[in-house]
């Protein structure tokens, strides 16, 4: 099967650049089941990184366009490459192939690992937003806590040892103080550090890589012949009534 | 005080046109407390109407720009002129003046009218989204039901008698079957039909006009010297670190 | 419009006296929208202050009588002047004009200021009661905490600097430890200290004056032509069946 | 042990009269464990029956006085003889002996009979209030429904066959449509019809007599040496500070 | 009435032995209402003590057999003598006499003592399980906390002073930090230390002995002619269709 | 990877027999990702089918023994082959390899397909139990309904056309009346009919085969190097203290 991993910002033009995109593609393919091929693509313009509601909103229109193109190009599924799952519902309205988001995917996976789990996020200002996402995913009752490391997305890869230490320390608080049985990386750059096993061993509780979780979720859906329900995510009514996609926008 | 009512679609270019914008402005000013002046503005491009998650996402970037301009232009508060409150959190991140959304405003008002209330919406496909907005507003426990009339936004004003009959019939089901004590119009075009009193009398329960509710909410906040909390809606971190708003977007 | 602010205890006969009642009346009128006139009245007998379930119960019968009289006297709305909203439901059963309570009004207002809010109360023994009121208002999910200052109602005005310091300190704990984005004064005497702006500035989060919130709530309802639903608060059945109000009591 | 059953209205002066009080006393004593003696007392003035929030509020001050007198007179526990549990919290503040309410007692008993239970009440207008009492008792999650028979309290005993038929019919709807596994009589006059066994047999699910449930609750607490927690129901602060009970009221 | 207290492990063969079984029987009879006779019986094989989900599962088949025998032998009710209420639902499927579990019984009793209560348990690993039991009992909203003493079941009686000190210390944390108004002993061996009054006095909040609570629950049900609902706990379908109990097992 | 599918009843000795076990093994292997090998095993004795709490309890001890043997035999993961997930927590206490249950697996998968989903079960008496499993899995908020077909497990395969018709009809009610966006087969025999695609097409909403879901869940966990958290499911304390597994049982 062919899966598109759609980065909802212009990563190839930003500080991380094409090299990081290719590195993530290689990692994704190394994580995949035999027979899965993952391609990483990014949008032409949008936010450098997504750390606020505004930056999240900014990326959606271009991301939807790219996901629709992926479906036309024959991909079997798409992953939205940002932990906030920006545009997930809109994308599902406009596709029939499965579209998954790393937040929803990793929340549902973490829910099966124990009684409670926590999310490691970037800033305190993102805590409430991720609590809402847990509610939307239906697993709010299992969320022990969301704790921020305070390291901006674009700095996570700069000082890896410091990042790792902070992740271990924050995850340990989730387990000891919040009674989390597992935790997940609430940021794709965090996840693509590929440190889940190491940090899990240090903390003594399972750690979920949100990128891997989204990949497995997509592979599972394709393999089972399942996709999101069109009763939940119907095509916009104007398109059901015969108007083309382009007509939704007036300018 | 001066309040901007920001239509998140290019209404002046669409089927409703500038005349409808002016009519709504006149209504809003007639509803206002003495000393309040309301100006209706719309964005240059975006969706013709908002009936799906995609159309909602489509409108946000331009709407935020316009709200920011309103604050620079000296308005005391802004109302986002769509019941889905598109971009409400993003707008609050980028402003200090109060920004209100008719959904949140009318939910909080309806919550004080009785034990339970219902929302009248457009399509069945919008029910889950509005239940989620009620959760976000914090009043999910008081939501008796969301019921759809099935009349598209752009058709609501075409056959007013039919629309009114459907609204009465749907609201009556909310009261009789779902035990709602009050109901609200979950669509601005529905609200600007200005039929709340008539429909309330026919149904025997209070009806909340979401446009009026948003206006009163904005007037209340300005009058009390209150605005949304910056701990909940902080300026994006990159701007806090000194980057200009424009730098958030990379192209 | 004319609004009655009904003090549910014999304030004019107590330690605060008529002077405090007139001071509050002056403040309320200064907070009102143009065209609103507020009159403060008190009941002839009842508790000196309300700090327990018993004292709350004690005040209700006389308060209802006075609110009914206000409606007969042509007031457009009434505010019950105690944060516990004593007799709110009973008063609504016996009136058609809007009757609001500062607790419900300020909870619904605070719910729109951020993700979570807190209540500052008098004694620890009142925490559970105010959590119930938040449930009744429908916003329990947004209540971050209720924290007590430990200063009795009748002492709040005696040492204003100490009171202010304790309020700042308690509110700061709500914001820092309980993740409240806003807070409200869960006592009318606290609210009428008129320190919301000052304390808000010190704490860095919006502060809601419950007296102002109730006033704006009443003004909003009257201005919108709304009142509480009679399906939620019906006239007692014996009165619906033709008996007079006086017949409800047997002695 | 000696238990006072305190009727919160002047039953002896009303249409039911002293004969009904004595009949209830005889029934209560017949239901008691060996060694328990129940005395039924009523207040000197108050509502003829309690079918609204106003009538409930009306009865509380006198009821508290009578319960305090019962404690001084050496009773081991008191039952508030109205299903709305009027004044339960206030009474607990002012006593150390156990005070129970038939609503709380029967809800907690019914919760142990199956997955869900329902309440049979008098009027539709009382549904929300009883849902709130279920929340207060902590068992809201187990409440399948509250259904009203529509027969006023003072008419329940007049046409017993009709009353019984209506109770069977209403309870059957709770079981069949609302998935209740058990149901309880949400009114003391309903409970004192002493029809629980008969109606249970007709419906095929256990029926809880709220009067019996309150009696067993009181007997259990006394027998275990338990009473309500004074951290939850502390004596009013003014009394803790040395003032007498009488000083709580100013006139 | 005759009540069987069924120990779901082979206590008479274990370290506590027959002497402890007889001591518990004596205590139970001393706690009972006049006219109640309690007999303590144990199963022939199973776990030495129950401190894990596995040990709980291990005891159920033999326990059900013994409870069914008790019903055939004419007992009026049975108590499952382990705080985890192992097999409670299965036992209710196969009996018509009341079967109660100390966990459910004591949770429902504690719920009536204040706003919130806590459970004292053995190990941290049992916290989540007891939270689930509180959900099942329907009173999850009233559970302030579950706190573990860390003393294994079989050690509780060895150093009584140390055990008592730890129970006081743990209960005090529940009251002070978790706002519990009452607490209960989440283990039968803890309950049969018969220290509830002493620990309650030391902590300043009511303490519920789960063994006593179960006994009173059973006595209450028998005395009221009530038992668990057969709509909630029906006889296995194969038996309803005529097969004998023995046919449920294939070997 | 090698996965054991452990049937918790003696299927090879029952009416379905070894042929059905081999058929299920073939199906499971046909559903698996390349490189996965599934082996179906059953326990030597236990219930013929599991349709009550008693039958569920009956199967657990032997099932745990068999799962432990599978881990010793080098399997990478085990699936408990009954939708009630009997013994799931106990099995996780005694293994480090992943053990999954079809109920939890399919609930978590269905939660990602839309806003709400339903479960198709066997008998009405199983509804409450499955609601509780949804709570345990953490997705209770997304469960639209549990609806029973009324066809006993052992009859499902006898009249396939009738079974299929009943499944379509029941699922359609879930979608139309309960607003489910997806549904799942709450019984393994239902799932192994392998009719998900056909029934999904007839109903117009995704259908989840619980057997496939459990397999994908196990494959995902093994592929990600994850297993259940040992903080949630610790080895029994006596074994942590050095006693052998066998010592947990006393006879």
Pair (F58, F133) in one structural domain: no
Pair (A201, A109) in one structural domain: yes
State the average pLDDT over residues E12-25: 95
**Is the separation of the CB atoms in B21 and B34 below 8 Å?**
no
pLDDT at D24 over 90: yes
Which chain F residue is nearest to residue B131, measuring alpha carbons? Answer: F115
User: Would you tell me how many other CB atoms lie within 10 Å of the CB of residue F54?
Assistant: 26
Smallest CA–CA distance, residue A14 to chain B, in Å, is: 7
Q: Using an 8 Å CB-CB cutoff, list chain A residues near F229.
A: 113-114, 181-182, 205-206
Name which of C142, C175, C179 to mutate to probe chain A: the one with the most chain A Cβ atoms within 10 A of its Cβ. C179
**Is the separation of the CB atoms in C95 and C67 below 8 Å?**
yes
C46-102, pLDDT tens digit by residue? 998 999 999 999 999 999 999 999 999 999 999 999 999 999 999 999 999 999 999
Helix or strand or coil: residue E225? coil
Query: If you average pLDDT over every residue of chain C, what do you get?
Result: 96
Going by C-alpha positions, the residue among A73, A71, A72, A91 that lies closest to residue A81 is: A91
Which chain D residue is nearest to residue B176, measuring alpha carbons? Answer: D124
* CA within 13 Å, CB half, C18: 1
Q: Using an 8 Å CB-CB cutoff, list chain B residues near D127.
A: 179
Helix or strand or coil: residue C47? strand
Q: What is the C-alpha to C-alpha distance for residues D109 and E211, in angstroms, rounded to an integer?
A: 17
Q: Which of A146-160, D228-242, E64-78 has the lowest mean pLDDT?
A: A146-160
E127-161, pLDDT tens digit by residue? 999 999 999 999 999 999 999 999 998 899 998 89
Pair (B142, B97) in one structural domain: no
Query: If you average pLDDT over every residue of chain E, what do you get?
Result: 96
Going by C-alpha positions, the residue among A109, A107, A88 that lies closest to residue A99 is: A88
Label residues E138-152 b or e (16+ Cβ within 10 Å = b). Answer: bbbbbbbbbbbbebb
Smallest CA–CA distance, residue F19 to chain E, in Å, is: 18
E147: left (phi over 0), alpha (psi -120 to 50) or beta: beta
User: Would you tell me how many other CB atoms lie within 10 Å of the CB of residue B172?
Assistant: 17
Pair (F14, F91) in one structural domain: yes
**Is the separation of the CB atoms in A211 and A40 below 8 Å?**
no
Label residues A187-197 b or e (16+ Cβ within 10 Å = b). Answer: bbbbbbbbbbe
Smallest CA–CA distance, residue A64 to chain F, in Å, is: 19
F59-116, pLDDT tens digit by residue? 999 999 999 999 999 999 999 999 999 999 999 999 999 999 999 999 999 999 999 9
Pair (A175, A136) in one structural domain: yes
Q: What is the C-alpha to C-alpha distance for residues D27 and D21, in angstroms, rounded to an integer?
A: 10
Pair (C201, C230) in one structural domain: no
D199-216, pLDDT tens digit by residue? 999 999 999 999 999 999
pLDDT at F5 over 90: yes
Which chain A residue is nearest to residue B132, measuring alpha carbons? Answer: A136
pLDDT at B15 over 90: no
Segment B176-179 long-range contacts (CB within 8 Å, at least 24 positions apart):
B177/B145, B178/B116, B178/B118, B178/B144, B178/B145, B178/B147, B179/B115, B179/B116, B179/B144, B179/D127
Pair (F45, F73) in one structural domain: yes
Pair (A204, A80) in one structural domain: no
Which chain B residue is nearest to residue A49, measuring alpha carbons? Answer: B248
Pair (C114, C182) in one structural domain: yes
**Is the separation of the CB atoms in C55 and C49 below 8 Å?**
yes
Residue contact C138–B135, C-beta within 8 A: no
User: What's the domain range around C146?
Assistant: 104-212
User: Would you tell me how many other CB atoms lie within 10 Å of the CB of residue F164?
Assistant: 15
**Is the separation of the CB atoms in B93 and A52 below 8 Å?**
yes
Residue contact E48–F233, C-beta within 8 A: no
C213: left (phi over 0), alpha (psi -120 to 50) or beta: alpha
pLDDT at F154 over 90: no
State the average pLDDT over residues C125-139: 96
B128-168, pLDDT tens digit by residue? 999 999 999 999 999 999 999 999 988 999 988 999 999 99
Q: Using an 8 Å CB-CB cutoff, list chain A residues near C115.
A: 128, 131
Number of domains in chain A: 2
Residue contact A116–E128, C-beta within 8 A: yes
Touch test B–E: 3 Cβ pairs or more under 8 Å = no
B49-66, pLDDT tens digit by residue? 999 999 999 999 999 999
Q: Using an 8 Å CB-CB cutoff, list chain D residues near E213.
A: 224
Under an 8 Å CB criterion, which residues of D touch B? 127-128
D54-86, pLDDT tens digit by residue? 999 999 999 999 999 999 999 999 999 999 999
Neighbours of chain D (3+ CB pairs under 8 A): B, C, E, F
Touch test C–F: 3 Cβ pairs or more under 8 Å = no
Name which of E34, E206, E210 to mutate to probe chain D: the one with the most chain D Cβ atoms within 10 A of its Cβ. E206
Pair (D168, D200) in one structural domain: yes
CATH of the domain at E140: 3.40.50.12500
Count residue pairs from A and B with Cβ separation < 8 A.
122
Residue appearing with tokens 């207060």: D136
Q: Using an 8 Å CB-CB cutoff, list chain B residues near F179.
A: 127
Pair (F115, F195) in one structural domain: yes
Q: Using an 8 Å CB-CB cutoff, list chain D residues near F128.
A: 115-116
Pair (C33, C127) in one structural domain: no
Reported confidence tier of residue A213, pLDDT bands at 50, 70, 90: very high
ipTM > 0.90, yes or no: yes
Q: Using an 8 Å CB-CB cutoff, list chain B residues near C142.
A: 138
Q: Using an 8 Å CB-CB cutoff, list chain D residues near B115.
A: 128
Smallest CA–CA distance, residue E13 to chain D, in Å, is: 31
D113-166, pLDDT tens digit by residue? 999 999 999 999 999 999 999 999 999 999 999 999 999 988 999 988 999 999
B179-238, pLDDT tens digit by residue? 999 999 999 999 999 999 999 999 999 999 999 999 999 999 999 999 999 999 999 999
Q: What is the C-alpha to C-alpha distance for residues E34 and E29, in angstroms, rounded to an integer?
A: 9
């Amino acid at each position: 099967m062919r899966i598109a991993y759609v980065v909802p910002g212009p990563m190839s033009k930003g500080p991380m650049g094409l090299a990081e995109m290719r590195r993530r593609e290689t990692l994704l393919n190394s994580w995949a089941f035999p027979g899965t091929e993952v391609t990483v693509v990014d949008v032409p313009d949008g936010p450098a990184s997504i750390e606020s509601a505004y930056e999240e909103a900014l990326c959606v229109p271009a991301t939807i366009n790219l996901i629709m193109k992926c479906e036309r190009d024959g991909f079997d599924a798409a992953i939205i490459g940002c932990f906030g799952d920006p545009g997930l519902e809109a994308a599902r309205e406009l596709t029939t192939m499965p579209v998954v988001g790393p937040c929803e995917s990793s929340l549902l996976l973490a829910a099966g690992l124990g009684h409670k789990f926590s999310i490691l996020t970037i800033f305190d200002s993102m805590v409430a937003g991720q609590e809402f996402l847990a509610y939307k995913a239906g697993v709010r009752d299992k969320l022990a806590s969301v704790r921020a490391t305070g390291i901006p997305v674009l700095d996570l890869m700069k000082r890896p040892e410091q990042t790792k230490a902070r992740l271990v320390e924050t995850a340990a608080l989730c387990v000891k103080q919040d009674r989390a049985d597992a935790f997940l990386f609430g940021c794709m750059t965090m996840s693509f550090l590929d440190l889940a096993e190491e940090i899990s061993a240090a903390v003594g509780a399972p750690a979920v890589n949100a990128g891997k979780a989204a990949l497995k979720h997509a592979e599972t859906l394709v393999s089972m012949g399942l996709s999101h329900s069109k009763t939940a995510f119907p095509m916009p009514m104007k398109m059901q009534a015969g108007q083309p996609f382009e007509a939704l926008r007036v300018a």
